[in-house]
Every structure is written in C-alpha cells, then in structure tokens.
C-alpha cells in the first residue's frame, strides 16, 4: 500500500507579515498532483491543518478546495487535528464527510476506531490520534494526573487492543501529533510542554508498522517506522536549512516500510546573514541572497541609521532585523534578549526568583511554578476548543 504522509499545513499563516496563502495553494496543487501521479492509496495529514483555532475565511476555502479535489481523485484521506486546530470545529460534519473518503479524526474517544483499507495483501488499519492535550483528555483515559507520555500511552493501549482483535496479518498505521524524543524542533512550533516535559519516547508506538507524525516542522526520521513529514513551507527563519518535503511510503505485505521524500514547491528561499551593515551591503558573497527572504543580524557596535531601509536597497525582500553588537557575554550591556535566549518560560521565572531573593527556588517552589505554567497552558487550550 502506498501512502503520502504530510502534516503541519498551517493554512492561513503568514511569514513575518507576508501572506502565504498563494504558496499554500501551490502546495495543495502539488499534493493533489503527487497523489495522482504516484497512484497513492491514501493521504495522511498528521495535524495542524490550520494555523489557529478560528481560521480566516480564505484559509477555510483553501481547505475545502483541498478536500473536494482529493475526494474527486478517489484517494482516501485520513486527517487528524493538531495543537493549533480547534478539534471541534475541524471535526464538524466529519460523519458526513467520511462518506466521501475524507476521514477526519478529531475526537480522542475515537482513537481506537480505525479507517480500514485493503490492498492485494489484505487489510491495513489506520488509526488517527488527534493532538492529546493532557489536561483536557485525562478523564477520557481515566488518568488522575498525567503528561504527554501517559495520555499517548493510554491511547496506544486502546489502539493495540483493537488491532489484536483484528484478523492476523492486519497491518497498522498510526497518525499522531506530538513531540517524540529524538526529534529536532524549530522556532515555529507552539510549545506543548506539560509538567516540564514535552517529549514522549518513540517506544510508545512499539509494534506499529508505520507512524506518521506531525508537530515538528523539519522532515526527519526517528526510526525506519516513525517519521515526521515536517511542514510543507518554512514558517520561521530557523527553518532556513530545511528541505521541505512529504514522505511517499510503501507498506509491504509483511509490514516492511520503504520511504522516499517528495520535495515541496519553494515560494522564495530563506537566508540568514550576519555582520556589520556596511559588510552586508558590499560583500559579493551575499549576491545569491538578493532575491531571498532575508533575516539580517547586525553586529555594528552602535545601531546604524535607518538599517532596514538601507538593507532593502540590496535585499528588497528583507523581513527581519536583529541587533547583536560585538560584545562579550560578560558585557553588562548585553541585551536582555541575548541573556534569555534558549531559556524556557519556567527557567526565566526561576531565574527571576533567584535574582530577587538571592537563592533559587527549592523543589516545592519549582513544582508550584511548573503547575502555574501548566495551568496557563491548559486554560489557553480550553479557550481554543470552546
């Protein structure tokens, strides 16, 4: 069985205020053309279809167009909700849409109800696990207190129970939206940390023939059977070195996996350049970036006059500007942003306690801070599902 694995479309998202809807439409064209040309048996979309819980009308129209075109091809599509989606809104009319071969899986209660397809070698059960926000699904899985690993493990226990009751030789595919240990994040994913832990171990999916992951925006292989497709477009400059693609997966009669990457269209390359303003404007090495979206980091000791206007004379698509004067880390004038770089919200709060009191928080106090940040995240997640 041939599967086309994609995720993290983030329909409606912009890139530093540059609209990407045309680029996203070009990706949908590419997706449909690939499904047709490669004669795929199913398309897998592993969450974050939209960029926000209340998507714009143009984003909804593009999603609607994608579903109609895939249904017209007669290619079954299995799609789950991600942490950016409103599961309830994405799942509206899913029972009716299911009849067209578009299978939306947004309800955690249905995670063990697969879409069953078949080829000449027998059945394949495809299980869609929507993004499982621990605070919102603990009751569903009868867990008093849990993080990502516990809720995903509980969901997989149900999946394995259903799979065990199916005919011998039934192959299995799981779609999930999660941060799996071993994956490399970028700057454009929303933090899903709970209890100080975001990553779940890959062995949660032990025994499944293929796991189609979403959430991380870089295409990557956790193991031969566990893969991220990554986002089809770059959504931050931290993705400048990404090769945006989808996975074309062949699932053998014995459950073996053969996968190859299918490149996605690139609307405009990304470039991150660094140096003094005069150097950036004159260095011939940067000529190759003149038609790119550019993030420039200026290292001048003093902020130059009208730096963005001057940059855009050479780099008309410059979008982001940062200042990192040539100073040592010990310099008391180092920027606040520099001092905070790479630190989580909870670490920043703990540092603040240390700064104010002279001693860092003890174990109990760290627990209070952790619970406070988890509560804020849970409230935000509930607000998006209302």
How far apart are the C-alpha atoms of 130 and 10, rounded to whole Å? Answer: 15
**Predicted pLDDT at 196:** 62
**Predicted pLDDT at 346:** 79
* Mean per-residue pLDDT pooled into runs of 10, the chain (386 residues): 98 96 98 98 98 96 97 97 95 93 96 97 98 94 91 97 97 97 88 74 97 97 97 97 97 97 97 97 97 97 94 98 78 58 77 74 82 71 59
Q: Write phi, then psi, for 9 (nearest 5 degrees).
A: -70, -40
How far apart are the C-alpha atoms of 125 and 229, rounded to whole Å? Answer: 20
Q: Exposed, middle or buried by CB within 10 Å (0-12, 13-18, 19+), for 134?
A: buried
Alpha carbon 288 to its chain centroid, in Å, reads 29
- Give the count of beta carbons closer than 10 Å to the beta carbon of residue 337: 10
**Predicted pLDDT at 341:** 66
- Give the count of beta carbons closer than 10 Å to the beta carbon of residue 38: 14
Q: From 3.30.70.20, 3.90.550.10, 3.60.21.10, 1.10.357.10, which CATH number describes the 2-263 domain?
A: 3.60.21.10
- 3 state SS of 160: helix
DSSP secondary structure of 197-249 = B-EE-GGGGTT-SEEEEES-SS-EEEETTEEE---SS--SGGGTT---EEEEE
**Predicted pLDDT at 255:** 97
For CATH 3.60.21.10, list the domain ranges present in the chain.
2-263
Residue among 111, 84, 106, 85 at smallest CA distance from 95 = 106
Q: Which residue stretches of the chain are H helix?
A: 21-37, 57-73, 87-90, 94-98, 134-137, 148-164, 277-282, 307-314, 336-340, 345-357, 363-385
Provide the β-strand partners of residue 98: none
C-alpha count within 13 angstroms, C-beta hemisphere, residue 247? 29
- 3 state SS of 294: strand
Tokens of 384: 């998006």
**Predicted pLDDT at 181:** 92
DSSP secondary structure of 327-368 = --TT-TTS-HHHHHTT--HHHHHHHHHHHHHSS---HHHHHH
pTM of the model: 0.85
Contacts of 316 (CB under 8 A, 6+ apart): 290
């Amino acid at each position: 069985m041939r599967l086309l694995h994609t995720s993290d479309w983030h329909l409606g998202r912009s890139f530093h205020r540059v609209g990407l809807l045309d680029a996203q439409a070009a990706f949908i064209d590419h997706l449909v053309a690939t499904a047709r040309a490669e004669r795929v048996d199913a398309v897998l979309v592993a969450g974050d279809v939209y960029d926000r819980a209340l998507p714009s009308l143009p984003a909804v129209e593009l999603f609607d167009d994608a579903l109609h075109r895939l249904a017209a091809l007669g290619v079954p599509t299995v799609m789950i909700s991600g942490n950016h989606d409103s599961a309830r809104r994405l799942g509206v009319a899913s029972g009716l849409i299911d009849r067209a071969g578009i299978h939306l899986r947004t309800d955690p209660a249905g995670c063990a109800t697969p879409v069953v397809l078949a080829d000449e070698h027998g059945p394949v059960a495809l299980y869609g696990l929507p993004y499982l926000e621990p605070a919102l699904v603990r009751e569903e899985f009868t867990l008093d207190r849990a993080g990502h690993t516990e809720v995903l493990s509980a969901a997989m226990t149900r999946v394995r129970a259903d799979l065990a009751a199916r005919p011998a030789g039934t192959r299995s595919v799981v779609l999930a939206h999660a941060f799996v240990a071993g994956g490399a994040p970028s700057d454009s994913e929303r933090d899903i940390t709970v209890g100080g832990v975001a990553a779940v171990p890959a062995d949660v999916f032990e025994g499944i023939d293929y796991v189609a992951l979403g959430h991380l925006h870089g295409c990557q292989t956790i193991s031969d059977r566990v893969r991220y497709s990554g986002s089809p477009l770059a959504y931050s400059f931290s993705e400048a070195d990404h090769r945006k693609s989808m996975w074309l997966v062949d699932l053998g009669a014995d459950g073996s996996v053969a996968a190859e990457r299918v490149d996605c269209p690139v609307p405009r390359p990304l470039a991150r350049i660094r140096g003094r303003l005069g150097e950036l404007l004159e260095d011939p090495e940067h000529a190759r970036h003149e038609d790119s979206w550019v993030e420039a980091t200026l290292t001048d000791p003093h902020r130059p006059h009208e730096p963005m206007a001057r940059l855009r004379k050479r780099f008309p698509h410059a979008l982001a500007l940062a200042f990192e004067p040539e100073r040592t880390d010990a310099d008391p004038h180092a920027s606040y942003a520099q001092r905070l770089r790479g630190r989580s919200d909870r670490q920043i709060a703990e540092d603040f306690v240390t700064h104010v009191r002279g001693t860092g928080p003890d174990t109990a106090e760290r627990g209070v801070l952790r619970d406070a940040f988890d509560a804020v995240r849970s409230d935000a997640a509930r607000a998006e599902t209302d």
